[in-house]
Each structure stands twice: as C-alpha cells, then as structure tokens.
Chain A
Amino acid sequence: MAEASRISKFLYTFIVLFIIWLFLTASVDPQELTIGLVFSFIVALLTHDIFTTRGLANLHPRRVAYFIAYIPYFLWAMLMANLDVAYRVLHPKRPINPGIVECKTELKNEVGKLALANSITLTPGTITLDVDGDRYFIHWIDVKDASVEGASENITRPFEKFLKVIFE
C-alpha cells in the first residue's frame, strides 16, 4: 500500500496521542484539554514521520470494528494459553514436547507482522523466535505437526483472518 500524505500521518499521530492524554489525565477540564492539545501537537509534529506509514487510513470503520472484535477473541486465547501452561507446570509428568517449527504468513504489512508475532507469543504454547520475510520461526511447547503447512494451520491461521482486515 502506498504511503499516506504527511497531513494524514500527522493527524493520525495527533489523534492517538491525544487519546492517550485523555486516558492519562482522566479529566475534561478545559485547561487540561488545551495543554493536552498543545503537547500532542508538538509531539506529533516531531514524530509523525516514524510513527505511522498509512495515516488516517488506519481509522477506517471496518478496521476499527474488526479490531474491537479481535480484543475479546485475543483475551480468550490468552486465558486458554495460561490454563494450558498451568496444566503443564502442575502436572507431575511435565507433558511437554518442544521444538522449533516454521510457519508461513500471508500478511505483507510490517505492523501486521509485528501484531501477529505478538499474538503468537501470548497464545497457547508458542513463542516467536525470529521472523524472516514471510517465514516465522516459532518455539512450540507441544509439537503436533512439524511440517510448514500443518504448523501454520495450527498457529497463525486463527489470527490471520482478523489481522488481514485490520492491517492490509
């Protein structure tokens, strides 16, 4: 995807910074809002070029809707991951079967790849070791399928359907 214009990038950075400011102060006093606007403006002016490559296109309603749907899905996967880890830690025989497998992803966008890597790290039994182009090297605590396709099916597929819409 082509890079967005400077204005769009600047506006996007400004909006994100201002939302963070709103959460941090938790106040709608006009004085707080004014100083927040001023500081968001200054910081956005300095950093908008490295903060985002797509600018306001990130706020497309479809992306936002998928993102909101992704949050409970992700939290649920994370909870399952922790129960899984708890089971492995507490079980007297320590049922682990670890190994490093390779996955392929369909995502092209760099931020999307980062989000996928983070999601993999926090969900059942997997942790991202390295990313090289569209190949992920993942340490899997319980290897069920060592082939590339099988591992992708088990690890990356469930997230890709969300992340593809959010980031592509």
Chain B
Amino acid sequence: MSALAGIGEFLVLFGTVFYFLSTLGLIRMPDVYNRMQTATKSATLGSLGVIIGTGIWAIGEGLSIAWLTKTLIIAVFLLLTNPISAHALIRGAYKSGIPLWEGSVVDKYKEHLEKKSQEGGEE
C-alpha cells in the first residue's frame, strides 16, 4: 500500500462520514428548508471526498492516471450542478406554499413578494 492509496482511503472514509451526517440531518431537521441545508452541503462535500478519493486510491494501486482526471471532471460537474438543483428544489417548495418552521425569525421573501404583487395591482 502506497501513500497515495492511503490518502485515497482516508478521503473515501471522510466522504462517507459526511454522507452519514447528511442522512442524519434529513431525519433530525424540522422542515424542508433546513433539511435542504444539510442534504445539499454534506452530500456535496461527501461526494467530492468519495469521488476524488477513488481517483487517488486508484493511482496508488498502480492503475492509470485516467482514473484521477475522470474523477476530477465528475467532481467539478457535481460541484457546479448540485447547488443549482438545491436552489430549484427549495424555490419550488416555497412557491408551492410549504410553510417555514414555527421557530423561524424573519421572512423577507414574503414581504418582497407581497410588495411586488401590490405594485402589480396598482398598475
């Protein structure tokens, strides 16, 4: 086992720990918005760790460099697209009228939408 394989194994372990935390967050958080927080962040970092870790691990085991470059491309695509899907989901949830958790402190977006519809009504 080379040093690179060791780093790869550590990264995969690190990623799976965050996968676990992400799932636990889905159970423990009170409403859809807070669940999106844990699910997006931990799942993205967990995937980054696992994917790049796999690439480095493969190099350490003597496989071709193509493993690492491909996993890097996958990681970059994931990093760019995951937050957009999270944004689309959370916006869709808000638009379909799912209420915030009762402990929430402010809702500036509601004020903004009300103001906008009033202006639209006056015109």
Contacts and interface: CB of A to CB of B under 8 A. Distances in A.
B69 A137 contact: no
B31, B45, B100, B101 — most chain A CB neighbours (10 Å): B45
B83 interface: yes
A146 B105 contact: yes
Task: Assign chain B's interface to a size class.
Answer: 35 or more
Interface string B97-115: 0001101111111101000
Contacts of A128: 83, 87, 90
Contacts of B30: 94, 96
B105 A85 contact: no
A127 B37 contact: yes
Interface in A94-114: 94, 96-102
A141 interface: yes
Which secondary structure characterizes the binding site on chain B?
helix
A78 B69 contact: no
Task: Assign chain A's interface to a size class.
Answer: 35 or more
A129 B101 contact: no
Contacts of B54: none
Contact of B112 (A85, A98, A127, A132): A132
Contact of B41 (A78, A94, A118, A148): A78
Contacts of B25: 85, 88-89
14 contacts: A23-B72, A24-B69, A26-B64, A81-B41, A82-B21, A85-B41, A88-B25, A89-B29, A96-B103, A98-B101, A101-B108, A122-B44, A128-B83, A135-B112
Given A82-B45, A135-B112, 18 more contacts: A22-B69, A23-B70, A26-B69, A27-B66, A85-B37, A85-B42, A96-B29, A97-B105, A98-B33, A98-B100, A100-B110, A102-B109, A118-B83, A121-B86, A122-B41, A130-B109, A141-B37, A143-B106
